[in-house]
Amino acid sequence: DVQLLESGGSLIHPGGSLRLSCVVSEVTFTTNARGWVRQAPGKGLEWVSVVSGSGDTTHYADSVKGRFTISRDTSQNTLYLQMNSLRAEDTAVYYCVKAPGYYDASAYYYPRYFDFWGQGSLVTVSS
Amino acid sequence: QSALTQPASVSGSPGQSITISCTGTSSDVGGHNHVSWYQQHPGKAPTLMIYDVSDRPSGVSYRFSGSKSGNTASLTISGLQAEDEAIYFCSSSTTTSVLYVFGTGTKVTVL
């Protein structure tokens, strides 16, 4: 089975920056798309960002576009989420996920579902 | 784009069957066969239960089944067991720039 282990969550002031990491124990790291899904305390799930298996396609939810950046280090089997200009509404548990997708006529990747989840990393944005 | 609409709660007795609905629009549930369902126990990460409307991942009980009609998807749990008590979220790809949306979540209680 795939295992995903997140780290990096902490208490941060509004306007601050934080980087989450996710170590993936899977041989096919560069084959599978991955991403981040978050859940505010007591609330529902919200998709945040995904990157295709090839790494050439990234997508972001409107709520984080321009502030968050997804990236990966294939040599370390690690996925990252760089979060800048953090707001109180970004407070949530952030889950690293494996994100099988589908491809349009231009071979552009889109997320389809999330079949493996990490245990989550709590980010609290508060003064 | 709004979240998909689910009932806040559904309950049933052990052994019974229950169905959770998930209502969207022609831009998401009605426009894609990429509807999935997740189970979340308190304090735990979600687990994928159904993908592509009605497919079950390896290891998921046959008691869980999914379907779709028009803009509404459904998750049926048959032979309800105490361990099924959890929150269930539906989700769908979309044909808009939003790309992906989750449902509001349904708390299942086993009486």
C-alpha to C-alpha distance for A96 and A116, rounded to whole angstroms? 8
In the predicted model, what is the mean pLDDT of residues B75-93?
Answer: 98
- Whether B91 and A110 lie within 8 Å, measured CB to CB: no
Is pLDDT of B22 > 90? yes
Residue A88, SS3? helix
Q: A81-98 pLDDT, tens per residue? A: 999 999 999 999 999 999
- State the pLDDT at residue B79: 98
Q: Which of B34, B45, B97 sits opposite A117 (nearest CB)?
A: B45
Residue by residue, DSSP assigns A95-121 as EEEE--EEE-TT--EEE----EE---E
- State the pLDDT at residue A107: 80
- State the pLDDT at residue B28: 95
Q: Of the candidates A67, A64, A32, A30, which has an alpha carbon nearest to the alpha carbon of residue A46? A: A64
Q: Of the candidates B94, B61, B93, which has an alpha carbon nearest to the alpha carbon of residue B76? A: B61
Is pLDDT of A30 > 80? no
- State the pLDDT at residue B1: 62
Q: Contact, A22 vs A99, CB < 8 A?
A: no
Q: A37-53 pLDDT, tens per residue? A: 999 999 999 999 999 99
Least reliable range by pLDDT among A36-45, B37-46, B68-77, B94-103:
B94-103
- Whether B47 and A117 lie within 8 Å, measured CB to CB: yes
Q: Which chain B residue's Cα is nearest to A115?
A: B48
- What sign does the CA torsion over B89, B93, B94, B99 have? positive
Does A47 contact B at CB distance below 8 Å?
Answer: yes
Distance from CA of B93 to the nearest CA of A (A): 6
Across all residues in chain A, what is the average pLDDT?
A: 94
Does B102 contact A at CB distance below 8 Å?
Answer: yes
Q: Contact, A77 vs A24, CB < 8 A?
A: yes
Least reliable range by pLDDT among B18-22, B78-82, B97-101:
B97-101
First to last CA, chain B: 35
DSSP A71: E
Q: Which residues contact A98 (CB under 8 A, 6 or more apart)?
A: A2, A4, A24, A26, A32, A33, A34, A114, A115, A116
- State the pLDDT at residue A23: 96
In the predicted model, what is the mean pLDDT of residues B9-14?
Answer: 97
Distance from CA of B97 to the nearest CA of A (A): 9
C-alpha to C-alpha distance for A23 and A37, rounded to whole angstroms? 16
* B contact test, residue of A38, A51, A113 with most B CBs within 10 A: A113
DSSP B5: B
- State the pLDDT at residue B98: 86
- Whether B51 and A110 lie within 8 Å, measured CB to CB: no
Is pLDDT of A10 > 70? yes
Residue A35, SS3? strand
- State the pLDDT at residue A31: 79
- Whether A59 and B99 lie within 8 Å, measured CB to CB: yes
Q: Of the candidates B90, B96, B108, which has an alpha carbon nearest to the alpha carbon of residue B3? A: B90
Pairs across A and B, CB distance < 8 A: 58
Does A35 contact B at CB distance below 8 Å?
Answer: no
- The pLDDT confidence band at residue A29, using thresholds 50, 70 and 90, is low
Does B98 contact A at CB distance below 8 Å?
Answer: yes
